[in-house]
Amino acid sequence: MCARAVTLHSMSSSGTAPAYRRLSVDERRSQLLRHALDLFAHRPPEDVSLDDVAVAAGVSRPLVYRYFPGGKQQLYEAALRSAADRLEQCFAEPHSGPLTVRLARALDRYLAFVDEYDAGFMALLQGGSVVETSRTSAIVDEVRRDAAAQILTHLGAEEGKESARLRMTVRTWIAAVEAASLIWLDEDKQPPLSQLRDGLVDHFVALLTATAATDPATAAVTRRALAMEEPDGPVAQLVRRILPVVADAGHLW
């Protein structure tokens, strides 16, 4: 395809007359980023060239340079920013209903992204890429901070006034989600995503309640969150599974 910003738009009913339309600057840039993200998803960033992106998008290499004059580094950072925007939206949930249901929906979106962009997700979080810079690291850190802030908001913690223990608990869980995602990819995507999601929700409840046992501020938000849970919801099921286990250790109390 020539460097003009045109793309296949539709096909006539006869199937013989493809129609083309000129893409706007934003549309063309988005198109290039989509193809770049797809390539980064299946290969480490250092193995993807501008020529690869041009071929995937069906355009010339100079056209890619026209939109990303900084070359591969600029394209990678823009693609990473696009991926980060999607990840940040994973935890955007209405602030109503049981917390565990909200977390499960957020994790469904997050893990779907991990599943779709498996190799790219691993390269993004494990680092070591030749295109990694302080800017790319800052983008990844921003996703983590935003996810933690959204979870604290779901917990009803007042921004800037939540306890240090609660912040650490939430950030620890975010790190656990990342680690579990990488292990899941390394284990050939086993167990099934639904089991991974449910296990991560249980892990959050366990971390939160363990912190609440020694931190009054965390205990307050935990009580509010648990009050919204359903009698047969994930928390109740977790408690019923735990009770037989701890009952066997009754000599401890």
pLDDT tens digits for range 202-225: 999 999 999 999 999 999 999 999
CB contact set of 202 (below 8 Å; sequence gap of 6+): 234, 238
Q: How confident is the model at residue 90 (pLDDT cuts 50, 70, 90)?
A: confident
Q: How far apart are CA 122 and CA 140, in angstroms?
A: 12
In a domain, 134, yes or no: yes
Q: In sequence order, what are the beta bridge partners of 11?
A: 18
Helix (H, G, I), strand (E, B), or coil: what is residue 233?
coil
Q: How far apart are CA 226 and CA 238, in angstroms?
A: 12
pLDDT digits (tens, 9 = 90+) for 93-135: 888 899 999 999 999 999 998 998 777 677 666 554 545 567 7
In a domain, 179, yes or no: yes
Per the structure, how many domains does the chain have?
Answer: 1
Q: Read off the pTM.
A: 0.80
List the one residue out of 107, 48, 111, 105 whose CA is nearest residue 79: 48
In a domain, 194, yes or no: yes
Structure tokens at 16: 């013989």
- What's the DSSP call for residue 45? G
In a domain, 46, yes or no: no
pLDDT exceeds 50 at position 3: no
Q: How far apart are CA 170 and CA 160, in angstroms?
A: 14
Q: What is the CATH number of the domain that holds 216?
A: 1.10.357.10
pLDDT at site 130 = 47
In a domain, 173, yes or no: yes
In a domain, 121, yes or no: yes
Judge whether 29 and 50 are in contact, CB under 8 Å: no
In a domain, 44, yes or no: no
In a domain, 180, yes or no: yes
pLDDT exceeds 70 at position 17: no
- What's the DSSP call for residue 8? E
List the one residue out of 126, 91, 132, 141 whose CA is nearest residue 111: 91
pLDDT exceeds 50 at position 8: no
Q: What is the mean pLDDT of the chain?
A: 84
pLDDT at site 11 = 36
Residue 103's domain comprises 81-230
The share of the chain scoring above pLDDT 90, in percent, equals 49
pLDDT exceeds 50 at position 192: yes
